[in-house]
Structure 1
Amino acid sequence: MQRPPANTFNLEYLHEITNSLDEISKQKLKGVILTSAIPNIFSAGLDIKEFYKPDLQRLENFWSSVQDVFIKLLDLDFATAAAINGHAPAAGCVLSLSCEYRAMVNGNYKIGLNEAALGIITTPWIQAMMYQVIPMKHTETALTTAKLFDVDEALQIGLIDEIASNKEDAINRCKQYIRKFDKIPLHARALTKQRMRQTPIKILREQRDEDIRMFVDVVMNPSVQDNLKDYVEKLKNKKKK
């Protein structure tokens, strides 16, 4: 990923990712590794500019595009791994959860779903993705408190699988994970993976319209817009310093 300064997802970038996933899904690959070309940032998640005082039609298209990306990621036939080379809050964390394996670089980095801090409710399919990786009790506590985990905490609860010394090490660990399936028939592996992931995939496919309506309603809530205004102001002040 390479969308400076923080690999945030706006509508256009989501379309780019969708097109890339369509292309790689046509190839006979052993696996794919997600990582970032930006030092110290895996992805800061969704672009706040898409939420704050949004155009309603664009907002609906934006969330539909988010759904598209994660349906494709969850349903890929081949192995997926994330080399997390920096901070991964919010949708950055969701991106890593969509993968089967996660290696995170050791450092002063955070990972987790902190949407509740902005008054935004985590949708059912994202909740399902998280509690397929970590226990439901940990998921509930993390989501309701907007918890961001440091690297050691993330390993302890299973949010990541390994700690790497640097980005190259993280990528190598991801490659080692993918090589585990060299002698496993692709079809059997893919079907097993898809059945294991059927809960979030089913929610995404069968409840798309309801999910979009819920997302739009939450984002357009006046209290959420006030929270987003405060957040945007804080970001502006940080840039001035």
Structure 2
Amino acid sequence: MLDIIQHDSIHELRLARKPVNALDPALVRTLRSAVEAAPNQDARALVLSGAPGLFSAGLDVPTLLQLDRDAFRVFWNDFFGLCAALARSPIPIVAAITGHAPAGGAVLSIMCDYRIMARGTYRIGLNEVQVGLSVPECIQAALRRLVGTYRAERMMVAGAMLDSEQADAIGLVDELADVDAVVPRAVAWLSELLKFPPRAMGETRRLARADLAAVFADPRALPVEDFLDGWFAPEAQQVLSALVARLKAKG
């Protein structure tokens, strides 16, 4: 489900839930725990990666549709907790986007310090509206700080999925690499960062990311119930159920 690979003091958290690294309750909980524990396990930086060609397909909709409201609330609190762990991490994190990263996959990447995406036909974006869901404000805020207010609005309202070149052009990702070079490049980028005096780099990073950290500072303020209302709304349930039916028909 999650492989932890050590590159000296840089730890790679590799999503390994076949076939598409979909985010179910167990994977989200496991990844959150790994991110939170890493600084106490001698990690000075993290790489978050996926399988070649597919970073993460986002939420595991077939599994999540089976949850009642109470169980889904637990999951969504864990998902927001994972976002908070990434956004507020005391050590730098690079998203090694090794392939497609729709919806939840894109969300994880925008919480990180830096994003390196596989070059090619791979796509990334917050396409929630296409499946009947709204994008929570805390996630919108994270996207706005990367690409700007108006561009973020246009992307999210349209549920746009961008190819890697488009994502790089607007700053949704920071650089591109061949798919087999994404993780090595992430490790190399972090290795250069870790050469700087640690106190100076760490404090500057903390101040620079204070706006993002503040978004997730108070778990009670996060819009969990609002998202639950949207998830269980008839429109969303109808669209999501139709999506699951199409996936089953494809085999």
* Aligned residue identity for 1:2: A
Q: Distance in 1 between matches of 2:124 and 2:231?
A: 22
Aligned counterpart, 1:185 = 197
Structure 2 residue matching 1:133: 3-state secondary structure: helix
Q: Distance in 2 between matches of 1:22 and 1:43?
A: 20
Aligned counterpart, 1:153 = 166
* Aligned residue identity for 1:70: C
Q: Distance in 1 between matches of 2:25 and 2:140?
A: 22
1:60-96 Cα shifts (integer Å, max 9, x gaps): 0000000111111111122211211110000101111
Aligned counterpart, 1:98 = 111
| Number of aligned positions between the proteins | 237
Q: Distance in 1 between matches of 2:219 and 2:35?
A: 22
Contact kept, 8 Å, 1:101 with 1:177, in 2: the verdict is: no
Find out whether 1:76 has 2:89 as its counterpart.
yes
Aligned counterpart, 2:5 = none
Q: Distance in 2 between matches of 1:130 and 1:84?
A: 16
Q: Distance in 2 between matches of 1:225 and 1:92?
A: 21
Aligned counterpart, 1:131 = 144
Q: CA RMSD in A?
A: 1.7
Alignment of structure 1 residues 211-222 onto 2, 5 Å: 211-222=223-234
Structure 2 residue matching 1:33: 3-state secondary structure: strand
Alignment of structure 1 residues 1-241 onto 2, 5 Å: 1-36=15-50, 38-167=51-180, 169-206=181-218, 208=220, 211-239=223-251
CA distance 1:75–1:190, change in 2 (3 Å): farther
Runs of 4+ in 1 over 6 A off after TM superposition: none
* Aligned residue identity for 2:24: N
The TM-score, its normalising length taken from structure 1, stands at 0.91
Bigger relative contact order, structure 1 or 2 (CA pairs below 8 A, ≥6 apart): 1
Structure 2 residue matching 1:122: 3-state secondary structure: coil
Structure 1 residue matching 2:115: 3-state secondary structure: strand
The TM-score, its normalising length taken from structure 2, stands at 0.88
Alpha-carbon offset, residue 212 of structure 1 = 0.9
Q: Which moved more, 1:181-190 or 1:223-232?
A: 181-190
Contact kept, 8 Å, 2:49 with 2:95, in 1: the verdict is: yes
Alpha-carbon offset, residue 236 of structure 1 = 1.0
CA distance 1:65–1:90, change in 2 (3 Å): same
CA distance 1:190–1:125, change in 2 (3 Å): farther
Q: Distance in 2 between matches of 1:9 and 1:166?
A: 22
Q: Distance in 2 between matches of 1:183 and 1:12?
A: 35
Q: Distance in 2 between matches of 1:166 and 1:8?
A: 20
Alpha-carbon offset, residue 200 of structure 1 = 3.7
1:137-179 Cα shifts (integer Å, max 9, x gaps): 1111000000000011011111111111122x11222122212
Structure 1 residue matching 2:202: 3-state secondary structure: helix
Q: Distance in 1 between matches of 2:187 and 2:179?
A: 14
* Aligned residue identity for 1:195: L
Q: Distance in 1 between matches of 2:45 and 2:38?
A: 10
Structure 2 residue matching 1:104: 3-state secondary structure: strand
Q: Distance in 1 between matches of 2:146 and 2:202?
A: 18
CA distance 1:198–1:208, change in 2 (3 Å): farther
